[in-house]
Structure 1
Amino acid sequence: MTIGNEDELEKLKAAGALVARTLQAMGQALEPGITTRELDQIGRQMLELEGARSAPELTYNFPGATCISIGPDVAHGIPDDRAIKAGDLINIDVSAELDGFFGDTGASFAVPPVSRQVERLCRDGRRALWTGIRAVRTGGDLAAPGRQIEAFARKNGYSLVRNLASHGVGSALHEHPTEIPTWSERSERRKITEGLVFTLEPFLSLGADWVEETGDGWTLRPPGGEPTVQYEHTLVATRNGPLVLTLA
């Protein structure tokens, strides 16, 4: 969506702040032995306490309030009774509707102890996201964040998943502009207009460049099981630069 007035911005800020707090609380609750269903219930309770609704449930009838993926799964994992173990790489994606507006955020978490390679992957996943955010300019190319993210990935020896993209958000979970690449894409000719609300969510990987469904109709995994992380923020393009709406 494109923000039309201050009231819309304030409502988007509220939705963004709520999903950010929810993601933070779920991340803090991660420990060996907790199940993804228990973790999802923490998220559900926080959203419902504020009068919000799970966006994946509302939009797609997803079987959970949040998406929780245990590596090598990287996205859209269904909460269930599997217990998280030490060494797991977990992705949590939280999106919700509050007062008619949507916020969307996500992050990957490594449950200690993990290898230094995985620790570095998580650190650089966050760096890749912020490299893209800093490239957002009103009037600039919508392809610019992807170009910068790919340059970062190549410089540091990573690949990027190319069949999962960023997207417009705000009045719906997924809306125009659709399929925003977080890699260098020459065919991307769209511009960033003032007030445009969208996500950035690169999937940084130790070798994977695509994912596929695992068979449950939702969960996505690299065919080779390569460790992959995703970090996501919702932001709005302003004349003063990007305003990130999903900071805790």
Structure 2
Amino acid sequence: MIIANDDELQGLKEVGRLCGLAIKTMAASMEPGMTTRELDMIGRKILEDAGAQSAPELCYQFPGATCISVNEEVAHGIPGDRVIKPGDLVNIDVSAEKNGFFGDAGASFMVPPGKPKTERLLRDGKRALFLGIQQVKAGFPFAGIGRAIGAFADSHRYTLIENLASHGVGRSLHEEPRELSTWADPDETRIMADGQVFTIEPFLSLGGQWAEDGGGDDSWTLYSEPRALTVQFEHTVVATKSGPLILTLVD
């Protein structure tokens, strides 16, 4: 989506803030002993109380309001009976629709106590996201995002999951520009337009290079290959002539 007027911008800001608020509230409520279904219900209430609806449910009939992925799960984890335990690495991904506008955000958290290497991975996952966001400006190449994140990952001996990409968002959950790499991609030649809306969501890993489903009855949950702890941080942004505008910040 390319924003045409202030009404569209305000609609995107409203739903984007709700996504961020749901993540913030869920993270603050998360504690050992609760199930991922209970955590999901907190996010659902935030969205529905504000007149929004879960985008994965709306668009893909996903079996939950939010995606909650724990430890070995990289993305699209289904909320259910899994009990959250001390030391767990939990990713919360919230996307929502309100008044015809879509927002998408994600963040990873550790349930204390955690290992130092997990704490470093979380810290650096946030750093990777914001290094990518710093490359956003109308007229600049999309490839700059992946080059910046990829260089950071390489210099700190991380890997990136290279089949989970960023994407356009706005009037639908996934739209053009599709398959925006958060790793160095020599084939990426597109240029950011003024007012263009898209996500940035690197999956930084301690060795994982690919995401695949686990087989069996669950066709949603993705795992890293090879298996390795992986974090995801995501914001929805707008490319403007003066730089990035983040739509999914709470404050």
TM-score in same-fold range (> 0.5) = yes
- Contact persistence 2:166–2:199 (CA under 8 A): yes
> Which runs of no fewer than 5 residues in structure 1 stay unpaired?
none
Q: Secondary structure at the match of 1:3?
A: coil
Give the CA deviation at 1:71: 1.0
Q: Is 1:245 paired with 2:247?
A: yes
- Contact persistence 2:12–2:247 (CA under 8 A): yes
Counterpart amino acid of 1:91?
Answer: N
* Identity score, percent: 58
> Which runs of no fewer than 5 residues in structure 2 stay unpaired?
none
| CA–CA separation in structure 2 for the residues paired with 1:189 and 1:223 | 28
| CA–CA separation in structure 2 for the residues paired with 1:106 and 1:55 | 13
The residue aligned with 1:113 is 113
Cα RMSD, aligned residues only: 0.6
| CA–CA separation in structure 2 for the residues paired with 1:160 and 1:9 | 31
Q: Secondary structure at the match of 1:211?
A: strand
Pairs aligned (count): 248
TM-score when scaled to structure 2? 0.98
For each residue in 1:73-121, what CA deviation from the matched residue of structure 2 results, as whole angstroms up to 9, or x when unmatched?
0100000011100011011100000111001000001111111000000
Counterpart amino acid of 1:131?
Answer: L
Give the CA deviation at 1:225: 2.0
The residue aligned with 1:180 is 180
Counterpart amino acid of 2:169?
Answer: V
Counterpart amino acid of 2:176?
Answer: H
TM-score when scaled to structure 1? 0.99
The residue aligned with 1:155 is 155
Q: Secondary structure at the match of 1:125?
A: helix
The residue aligned with 1:211 is 211
**Which 10-residue stretch deviates more, 172-181 or 207-216?**
207-216
Counterpart amino acid of 1:238?
Answer: T
Q: List aligned pairs for 1:1-248, cutoff 5 A.
A: 1-215=1-215, 216-248=218-250
**Which 10-residue stretch deviates more, 84-93 or 218-227?**
218-227
| CA–CA separation in structure 2 for the residues paired with 1:92 and 1:192 | 28
Give the CA deviation at 1:223: 2.8
Counterpart amino acid of 1:33?
Answer: G
| CA–CA separation in structure 1 for the residues paired with 2:223 and 2:86 | 20
